[in-house]
Amino acid sequence: MKKLLVCGAGGFIGGHLVKRLKKQGHWVRGVDLKLHEFSDSPADEFILGDLTDQEFVRQILDMPFDEVYQLASDMGGAGYIFTGDNDANLMHNSASINLNIIREANKMGVKKIFYSSSACIYPEYNQMDPANPKCAESSAYPAAPDSEYGWEKLFSERLYLAFNKNYGLDIRIARFHNVFGPEGTWVGGKEKAPAAICRKVAEAAENGFIDVWGDGLQTRSFLYIDECLEAVERLMESNFIGPVNIGSEEMVSLNQLAAMVMKIANKPLSINNIPVSYTGVRGRNSDNKLIKQALGWAPSRPLAEGLTKTYEWIQEQVSVSRPVLAE
Ligand code: NAD
């Protein structure tokens, strides 16, 4: 049994990770600003607090954990990251969290620490062609992320790498590409494309329409949560530090994603593409050559399968949250 710390345990990926680690029989301390919204955490301890506060980080990192999973960050979907309205907060908060955690983890002699970076670190100039984006790990520099969120992730990658270089701290870095699944934010402004589209389809009237941001021709790939956690486990068990992409290579346009959800829901709707300035890069796809070679990992199931499970969960959320007329 290992002693593990999960920072961001009240969030989407952290919540699923705690469940997986507990099933494997480990002792887990979860930490977050908030409790998990959608299910009770099976963590042995769940401590609420703000990881931008150095004193709080000192309290929760009070032992030489076998592994620390650092998933906490101030983040959201395109409507949160790309409008520019949250840039100062998300840079300052996420950088402070990482600075605090790496310092205390190093002091405490934590044995291994996982850092969740993002595909948002990749240069915009390699992602202008929706049919042919380039996201190999080696293409990260010269750096030109299209968001401050991406710049903070790149800074923090370098921070973890520097602690590895100068203090021998054992680190692992993954660049996640659009992870989705049940029990993720699906409403309120921080939800990402798969959840937003599932919600819109579930809420739409029969033969109605849904809004899709931009021209809908922008491309992305999406990775189901269980696949993501399997890859994280393999990375942690390997001697490979990364940074490495953890994503899917099944690239679709946003309009194609919407059509897939409609098919799953058996609801033929029209798509209303609305012009917005914050859709992110034109094309993005995971490049899995390195992870296949280093860890022998690739996603095992098609996008439609994960989307079906996600749609079913979001449809249920929509139906229980819909206001009903009092009798
Ligand atoms: P999430 O927003 O659901 O989870 C992040 C958690 O961090 C939240 O529960 C939030 O409350 C917590 N947090 C934020 N600020 C905090 C603070 N000051 N103190 C304590 N807790 C704080 O996001 P997620 O989708 O679970 O993502 C987990 C990690 O993976 C994040 O670092 C994210 O940047 C990264 N990532 C996710 C994706 C994705 O598609 N989900 C893609 C790339 C990278």
Q: Which letter, b or e, does each residue of 87-108 get, where b requires 16 or more Cβ atoms within 10 Å of its Cβ? A: beebbebbbbbbbbbbbbbbeb
Question: Of all atoms in ligand 1, which is nearest to the CA of residue 15?
Answer: 26
pLDDT reported for residue 280 = 86
pLDDT reported for residue 76 = 81
Does residue 312 fall inside a structural domain?
Answer: yes
Give distance in angstroms: CA of 7 to centre of ligand 1: 9
Residues 119 and 211 in one domain: no
Beta strand ranges found along 157-216 (DSSP E) = 171-176, 179-180, 209-213
Residues 25 and 99 in one domain: yes
Residues 56 and 195 in one domain: no
Give distance in angstroms: CA of 326 to centre of ligand 1: 37
Specify the CATH number for the domain of residue 312: 3.90.25.10
Q: What average pLDDT does the chain have? A: 95
Residues 236 and 273 in one domain: no
Residue 287 has pLDDT above 70, yes or no: yes
| Ligand 1 pocket residue status of 51, Cβ below 6 Å | yes
Residues 165 and 137 in one domain: yes
Q: How many domains does the chain have?
A: 2
**Distance between CA atoms of residues 28 and 40, nearest Å:** 14
Contact by Cβ (8 Å): 4, 65: yes
User: Whole domain around residue 195: which residue ranges?
Assistant: 182-221+250-284+301-322
pLDDT digits (tens, 9 = 90+) for 189-228: 888 999 999 999 999 998 899 999 999 999 999 999 999 9
Catalytic residue selected from 122, 149, 160, 224? 149
pLDDT digits (tens, 9 = 90+) for 133-182: 999 999 999 999 999 999 999 999 999 999 999 999 999 999 999 999 99
Mean pLDDT along residues 232-254 = 98
Specify the CATH number for the domain of residue 99: 3.40.50.720
Tokens of 176: 């996640």
C-alpha pair distances (Å), 244 with each of 138, 148, 161, 253, 275: 10, 20, 13, 24, 33
Tokens of 68: 């620390």
